[in-house]
Amino acid sequence: MRSGEWQKLDNLIGTVKWGEMEFMRKAFLTAALDHVGEEGEAAHEWKDAVAAVRTRSNRLERVAKFAVQAKWAGRAEEIMRKLATMPQCPRWVMDSLWKDAFQRSDTTQLQKLSGAIAKSDPKGIAARNNYAFLSLLTRNAEGNPHRIAETLHREHPENALVTSTYALSLYQQGKAADAAALMSTLKPEALREPQVALYQAIFLLSIGQAEKSDEFLTLSAKWPMLPEEKTLLERAKVAGAKAGGSAGDPQKSAPTHRPR
């Protein structure tokens, strides 16, 4: 729409109330004001639109879709985060927030989202594993991620991502050698997956097996590491260097486990 048309829209909907759809009038008014340069008024109308939908998930979703279509990244995320706290959050909202958080390397937000997804899909292997993995990575003990990781591995020992999560659990409990040994039970092709290879590299490095870790480090270079993963890798290198002749002793080579 041209500037003049946005001004006409502003004039048209500026005073006429829309009853139960008043929240959408506010959203359209926000767009009109944005396009004519009235940023302060636009922000005010958007605040009113958000207040009008409150905790009505169907209305929140409608406003979220409007914000996405209008390419309002910040406003869309504001609404979608509200939706993410609700029992029946639309999956497209979760997926959108997940993608954005991953692109920002926001592990804390990913962990929160994984919890919401796990609640909506309590039997899903990927949902449960993501929650356990991200909780371990962020040292969030809520929900007992160590137990979830162990249970999942007992149920699905052939799943490489599940296995790497349980191995991370063992590693954080001071059992680096056990973690590396567990990873070695996976099929060679599974170990070559970048995300899986990263953790085998970490575990091998931490027990002083730097030469064996080289192949996995090369493979893991294709994986966009989260900040906490980069920290794990650096600490493993330091632990491996210190291990020296005590390589293979998990108590000496693994980082101290934070009490739960």
* pLDDT per position as a tens digit, 79-121: 998 888 887 789 999 999 999 999 999 999 999 999 999 988 8
Q: What percent of the chain has pLDDT over 90?
A: 55
Q: What average pLDDT does the structure give for the chain? A: 85
Whether residue 1 is contained in a domain is answered as: yes
- Determine the pLDDT at residue 257: 32
Whether residue 28 is contained in a domain is answered as: yes
Q: Confidence band (pLDDT; 50, 70, 90) for 218?
A: very high
Q: Confidence band (pLDDT; 50, 70, 90) for 2?
A: very low
Q: Do 46 and 71 share a domain, yes or no?
A: no
Q: Do 48 and 11 share a domain, yes or no?
A: yes
Q: Do 49 and 13 share a domain, yes or no?
A: yes
| Count: domains in the chain | 2
* pLDDT of 260 above 60: no
Q: Do 8 and 39 share a domain, yes or no?
A: yes
Q: Do 41 and 83 share a domain, yes or no?
A: no
**Tokens 């636009």 belong to residue:** 42
Tell me the average pLDDT across 1-13: 49
Range(s) of the domain holding residue 10: 1-53
Whether residue 97 is contained in a domain is answered as: yes
H or E, element range at 72: none
Whether residue 24 is contained in a domain is answered as: yes
Q: Do 44 and 84 share a domain, yes or no?
A: no
Q: Do 5 and 44 share a domain, yes or no?
A: yes
Tell me the average pLDDT across 120-141: 96
Whether residue 8 is contained in a domain is answered as: yes
Whether residue 42 is contained in a domain is answered as: yes
Whether residue 13 is contained in a domain is answered as: yes
- Helices marked H in the chain: 3-13, 22-35, 39-53, 57-69, 73-84, 91-103, 107-120, 125-137, 145-155, 160-172, 176-183, 188-191, 194-206, 210-220, 227-243, 250-253
Q: Do 44 and 86 share a domain, yes or no?
A: no
Whether residue 153 is contained in a domain is answered as: no
- Determine the pLDDT at residue 19: 60
Backbone φ and ψ of 22, nearest 5°: -55, -35
